[in-house]
Chains A and B, each alone.
Chain A
Amino acid sequence: MSLNGWLQIALFIAIILLLAKPMGSYMTRVFDRRRTWLDPVLVPCERLLYRLTGVDPNEEMRWTQYAVAMLVFSAATLILTYAIQRLQQFLPLNPQHLAAVAPDLAFNTAVSFTTNTNWQAYTPETTMSYLTQMLGLATHMFWSAAIGLALAIAFIRGIARREMKTLGNFWVDLTRGTLWVLLPISIVFAVALTSQGVIQNFHPYTTAKLVQPQTVTATGSDGKTTTTAVTTQTIAQGPVASQEAIKMLGTNGGGFFNANSAHPFENPTALSNFLQMLSIFLIPAGLTVTLGTMVGSPKHGWAVLAAMTILWFVGVFVCYWAEAQPNPLMHNVDQRASLTQSGGNMEGKEVRFGIVNSALFATVTTDASCGAVNSMHDSFTPLGGLVPLTNIMLGEIVFGGVGAGLYGMLVFVVIAVFIAGLMVGRTPEYLGKKIEAYDVQMAMLYLLIFPLIILGFAAVAVLMPNLGLSSLLNHGPHGLSEILYAYASATGNNGSAFAGSNWNTHWYNYSLGFAMFFGRFMMIIPMLAIAGNLAGKKIVPETAGTFPVTTPLFTVLLTSVIVIVGALTFFPALSLGPILEHLLLHAGHTF
């Protein structure tokens, strides 16, 4: 670890904390339908959309109506994306004449992008046409993020409203989140990325002549050895910048190229890398301020932001420390940091980004449900890889995905105030609302579904060698970590992978597709049920026995509840995966 590295980390979080207030205030104005400086351009667009779709923007929805609208929209767009992939060979903007995507992979990818996961079991540049990437995938990056944003706002309204049965209008929240928040920032961000060298074109792939031709020797299944001279290289092109911006801002993570943000056309410079990390946390950090403002308790928003920042710091500290350590099995290699090398564990990392920007990116992308990567998490040290895995298993509520992070955190808040109420023997209250049996039942349903899906599917994959193990390339505890990571990433709608396996099999395409679907919608519905129930409650006056949710004590309690719930749920599995691998590494074994 170096001073330079820590200064970069400090600069990153300082900018995020500085941007939280203006971003949060802007989003409050957008969702309260107050005037913004973009109104002259966007209000006519908004009205036109409502007129074309027959939406009454003044209609209020109960939580069930809100949920049904969200499900109907998700179903329609999922089928659209499936169809685009299956028919891409007949559609335009396919200069490489790529064939139709296979059905199981098309199913997996359609679910993946609908649920904001962006799990990619395919190599984009050899599988998806430009039209599929733009119309099938990038549009979902806007919609799925806007849905997350709408749901978080609905939850906040549930807390803020008194004796009302409604949470707002899903179609209005979806439209305003897309038009006022995601689209303008993405346009500015895409231009900034192109200034750094991110490409944006519809060209066919370029063929370049190698300066140093290579010779590749391969042994076929018949045992014969063939030698091929490689003199050219195909360089993929495409409309990358426009997708890259929403990929990060919407905490989507689906790369235009297989190497994701490690590819120089997606992430060319240190500045583009820094901007990409900032854009992941921008909206989630702002939403804590929106929470505080809309519920009339700005300090509560800051207390939640403080809990997120503490958990983020612990993660980045452990990951940076672990990756800065030399590999104990490489005795005769200089792994010390110096002016000419990063030192530490550089396997799977871009030399351009080094240890600190790889560890920070990995922590940020898994704190949020982004899943973009600028280094290969599979190559991290066992403890370094434990951090992204744990971040996902905590529910990605440390800043979290756009909207999803905040509503996940608010479910933990409900549990935290419930526990605080139990400790002092009073009916728990949250900002004047009594937390009753139904709220806790729904919160527990939300919290229990998550590990049930991850551990259930992982157990089946491990116990069925023909299904889950046949395509695995690493075995032992590292192989278990890869399977655990895959299901955690899918269920948490993260989308990053520990790689190390061919995930493009029937079993993984369908089982991970189900994990993504259930991880998204089976958790959203109980969350909305809590919001709907809270909206209908009266406000009870604060008394000496009320647990304040604006103090450092609340922040500590919230942080503890998150860690304890996560640790109790996943520690046994983690101890058989990365923790065991760490112990075996220092005993001289590697996997």
Chain B
Amino acid sequence: MLPERYFMADIIALITIAVLFPLSLLYVSACDHLKGSRR
């Protein structure tokens, strides 16, 4: 079995990954929006 003390650390790592990628998608949208806002 995986050590129990690692359970929370796993959750933190996976939440971090789950937050970083959607933030990157927002960043894509922001860069695209910046172009549109200049027209």
Residues of A whose CB lies within 8 Å of any CB of B are: 63-64, 67-68, 71-72, 74-75, 78-79, 82, 86, 100, 102-104, 106-107, 110, 437-438, 441-442, 445, 510, 517, 521-522, 525-526, 529, 533
Contacts and interface: CB of A to CB of B under 8 A. Distances in A.
B16 to A, nearest CB: 7
Given A75-B21, A102-B6, A526 B31 contact: yes
A522 B27 contact: yes
Given A100-B2, A437-B38, 6 more contacts: A64-B29, A86-B2, A103-B9, A438-B38, A525-B27, A526-B31
A123 B24 CA distance: 31
A27 B13 CA distance: 38
B28 A68 contact: yes
Given A107-B16, A525-B27, A533 B35 contact: yes
B24 to A, nearest CB: 5
17 contacts: A68-B25, A71-B25, A71-B28, A72-B21, A74-B21, A78-B17, A82-B13, A82-B14, A100-B2, A102-B9, A103-B12, A110-B17, A437-B38, A438-B34, A438-B35, A525-B27, A525-B31
A71 B28 CA distance: 10
A74 B10 CA distance: 19
A442 B27 CA distance: 12
A107 B38 contact: no
Contacts of A517: 20
Contact of B13 (A71, A72, A104, A522): A104
A529 B35 contact: yes
B24 A521 contact: yes
B32 interface: yes
Nearest to B38: A438
B21 A104 contact: no
A317 B15 CA distance: 46
Given A71-B24, A86-B2, A104 B9 contact: yes
Contacts of B35: 438, 529, 533
Contact of B28 (A67, A103, A107, A437): A67
A91 to B, nearest CB: 13
Contacts of B27: 521-522, 525
Contacts of A67: 28
A68 B32 CA distance: 12
Contacts of B20: 517
Nearest to A518: B20
B25 to A, nearest CB: 6
A71 B31 CA distance: 15
A102 B24 CA distance: 26
Nearest to B37: A438
A138 to B, nearest CB: 21
Nearest to B28: A67
B13 to A, nearest CB: 4
Contacts of B9: 102-104
Contacts of A107: 13, 16-17
B12 A71 contact: no
Given A68-B28, A71-B24, A529-B31, A86 B10 contact: yes
B19 to A, nearest CB: 11
A458 to B, nearest CB: 21
Nearest to A102: B6
A517 B12 CA distance: 16
Contact of A525 (B2, B17, B28, B38): B28
B23 to A, nearest CB: 9
Nearest to B11: A103
Nearest to B9: A103
A517 B20 CA distance: 8
A396 to B, nearest CB: 21
Closest 8 CB pairs of A and B: A103-B9, A107-B13, A75-B21, A529-B31, A67-B28, A103-B13, A521-B24, A103-B10
A67 B30 CA distance: 13
Scoring A74, A103, A442 by chain B CB atoms within 10 A of each residue's CB, the highest score goes to A103
Contacts of A74: 21
A64 B32 contact: yes
Contacts of B21: 71-72, 74-75
